[in-house]
Structure 1
Amino acid sequence: MPVRLDDILALLCHVSEQQKMKAAVKHSAKGALAAGACAFVGGLMGGPVGIAAGGAVGGLVGAWMTSGQFQPIPQILMELPPVKQQDLCDRVFAIIRNLDWTDATQLIMLVSGNAALQQKVAALLINYVTQELRAEIQYGD
Structure 2
Amino acid sequence: MTRRIALNLGLVALIAAFLGADTLTQLAFKLAADVVGDAPIGLAFLKIAAGSGTVWTAAALYFLTYILWMLVLQRTPLSRAFPLTALSYVTVPAAAWLVFGETIGLTPLAGIALILAGVCLIGHGSSDTATAHAVPTDAPRRPVPCAD
Taking structure 1 as the reference length, the TM-score comes to: 0.33
Identify which of structures 1 and 2 has the higher relative contact order when contacts are C-alpha pairs closer than 8 Å and 6+ apart: 1
Q: Which structure features the higher share of strand residues?
A: 1
Taking structure 2 as the reference length, the TM-score comes to: 0.32
Q: Pick the structure with greater CA Rg.
A: 1
